[in-house]
Amino acid sequence: MVSEPRDAGVDLAASPPPSEATPQAVVEAGQQLRAPWAASVAGILFAVLFTLALVLMRGSPLNAATNAEMVRLFVEGRDQWLLIGGLYLAPFAGIMFLWFIAVVRDRIGAHEDRFFATAFLGSGLLFVAMLFAAAAVLGGLIAGNSLGTAAPTDIATVGFARSVGYTFLFLFASKVAGIFALVMATIIQRSGWPRWTSLSGFATAAFLLLSITFFEPLVLLFAAWVAAISAYVLVTGGRQARGGTEL
């Protein structure tokens, strides 16, 4: 069986030549969206929005209310702004992370290894899916009560939903985040960046993959690492230190 030839030497990061009908402003806008600063801004925004979403949801009174207080919270609709604020920020954090992935892959271009590309993209998409699932489970508590389809005023029901959301985020999402950090750290190492960028990624991946606790700041370590890498790209433009590829 003859295998398909690999597209060696083709720079996938290079934009196709614009046609005569393509306005120059559109071409320039596309180039700007693929620039290194776009990945850095997206990564920093992801870290900020993700952290704020977790802090707001964690500070919701649903986490410490008694059964009587739970009934009053849902009946009166008070003190739910923290959870609602966190739920609104979570999707935008996921969108920024997807943008971060897209720009990084575009910058790697023809240097992209198919094995690492699959793990990089797959783990990133799974992380966003788990984040959305966790937010949806917690958001269902308020949405069901607001729409009149359900009234989760029982503390056991709220506790179960919170446990499911925590499992999505701190168990499954943290593990795929570890895979993402591991793969990206390998790409960074091959790109010839400073050693701290790859070593910190490997350490973050090991901590996320090997941790067996629901330690809440766990996933914030991943956001902090993405922010640090994004800040480095913003300052340096993703230039390599020694004959590697640029992001």
Residue 144 lies in a domain: yes
Q: Is the pLDDT of residue 2 over 50?
A: no
Nearest to 176 by CA among 113, 124, 98: 124
Distances in Å between the Cα of 228 and the Cα atoms of 41, 76, 187, 204, 231 are: 11, 42, 16, 12, 5
Residue 177 resides in a domain: yes
More confident residue, 33 or 70: 70
Comparing 85-89, 151-155, 157-161, 171-175, the range with the smallest average pLDDT is: 151-155
What is the percentage of the chain residues whose pLDDT exceeds 70?
64
Look up residue 226 and give its amino acid. V
Separation between Cα atoms, residue 54 and residue 56, nearest integer Å: 5
Could you tell me which residues come within 8 angstroms of residue 241 by beta carbon, excluding any fewer than 6 positions away?
Answer: 192, 193, 194
Entry pTM: 0.75
Distance from the Cα of residue 192 to its chain's centroid? 24
pLDDT of residue 238: 55
Domain assignment present for residue 70? The answer is yes
Q: Give the per-residue pLDDT at 40.
A: 84
Sign of CA pseudo-dihedral 26, 32, 38, 41 = negative
Q: Per the domain annotation, does 205 fall within a domain?
A: yes
pLDDT in tens, 82-119: 777 788 888 899 999 998 888 887 766 555 677 878 88
**Full domain range(s) for residue 35:** 28-236
How far, in Å, CA of 134 to CA of 173, rounded? 9
Q: Please state, for a pLDDT cut of 90, what percent of the chain lies above it.
A: 22
> Which of these, 145, 148, 156, 202, lies nearest to 179 by C-alpha position?
202
| Three-state SS at 207 | helix
156 pLDDT band, cuts 50/70/90, is confident
206-221: pLDDT as tens digits = 999 988 766 667 788 9
Counting the structural domains of the chain, the total is 1
- Cβ neighbours of residue 182 closer than 8 Å, sequence gap 6 or more: 201, 202, 205, 209
> Is 209 a member of any domain?
yes
d(CA 74, CA 224): 34
pLDDT tens track for 74-87: 666 665 677 777 88
Q: Is the pLDDT assigned to residue 5 strictly greater than 60?
A: no
Q: Give pLDDT, residue 182.
A: 93
Residue 150: per-residue pLDDT? 58
Copy the structure tokens of residue 102.
């897209």
- Compute the distance between CA of residue 123 and CA of residue 226 in angstroms, rounded to an integer: 14
- Residue 212 domain-assigned (yes or no): yes
- At 51-66, the pLDDT tens digits run 998 888 776 666 656 7
Q: What is the pLDDT of residue 65?
A: 61
Domain assignment present for 191: yes
* 19 belongs to a structural domain: no
The pair of three-digit structure tokens given for residue 219, joined into one six-digit string: 């996933």
Q: What is the DSSP letter of 169?
A: I
Residue of higher predicted confidence among 34 and 71: 71
